[in-house]
Amino acid sequence: MNRFDPLPAGMRALPTDERGIPVPWFVDWFSGKPDFRVVDGRRLIEGWNRDLCWICGKQLFAFRAWIVGPVSMINRCTGEPPAHPECARVALLNCPFLSNPHMKRSKAALPASHSGGGELVEHNSGLSSAWITRGRGGELFDPGNGPLFRIFEPHKVEWFCKGAAATDDEVHAEFECAAQRLRDIDRRYGPAALQNLESRIAACSKWLPERGSGDR
């Protein structure tokens, strides 16, 4: 199945690389070529301030989708602004980094000009979601080491794993794995931190699908 066909209207205007793959609006370019590993940091603030889709660069509408994994969902925090839901779905189905849980971002041969203007994202999760909100759906803040986005309660959540709609079992297994990793970290900070984490996990758990509600 060609998951790029049909492309959402906004993505049809994007440039393509030598393979014909659309280059997302956020990708940085070096010597006339896109490097899909590198985010153009200038566009992060521009996209947020102008209410533009992170993927196609066009104006956002009432609903927008934050592409987040379970850790970001539990923490309600992410490093990237939202996109059109239809653009987010294309990314979740096609981006190798999102659709392949074993994919690692290569640092090999990073452009010499790659410096503070871009961000190399290194983490990966076996599970991702389109966290769909009404309106802006979040707020920009800086904890002291660069801009992040605090995401609000969603209108709905769509789950993806390995380049397809996630099964109920995949969602529950990967979510619990992420929750346990956070527990292992917060346990070092004492009972209060762990209790706060459990509250956030419980708040997020209501967006998990019911088991047996729609496995592919």
Give the SS3 label for residue 210.
coil
Residues, the chain, total?
A: 216
Query: Is residue 29 in a domain?
Result: yes
Q: Which domain holds residue 43?
A: 21-101+117-165
Query: Is residue 197 in a domain?
Result: no
Query: Is residue 155 in a domain?
Result: yes
pLDDT tens, 55-114?
A: 999 999 999 999 999 999 999 999 999 999 999 999 999 988 776 655 554 444 434 443
Query: Is residue 97 in a domain?
Result: yes
- Where would I find the beta strands (DSSP E) of the chain? 27-30, 33-40, 63-68, 77-78, 118-120, 128-134, 138-141, 148-151, 156-161, 164-165
- 145 band by pLDDT with thresholds 50, 70 and 90: confident
pLDDT tens, 1-37?
A: 345 668 999 999 999 999 899 999 999 999 999 999 8
What pLDDT score was predicted for residue 115?
A: 39
Query: Is residue 58 in a domain?
Result: yes
Query: Is residue 132 in a domain?
Result: yes
pTM for the predicted model, two decimal places: 0.85
Is the pLDDT assigned to residue 159 strictly greater than 80? yes
Q: Is 32 left (phi over 0), alpha (psi -120 to 50) or beta?
A: left
Tally of structural domains, the chain = 1
Query: Is residue 161 in a domain?
Result: yes
| Element counts in the chain: helices (H) and strands (E) | 7, 10
Please state the rounded mean pLDDT for residues 142-169: 94
Query: Is residue 72 in a domain?
Result: yes
- Where would I find the beta strands (DSSP E) of 100-165? 118-120, 128-134, 138-141, 148-151, 156-161, 164-165
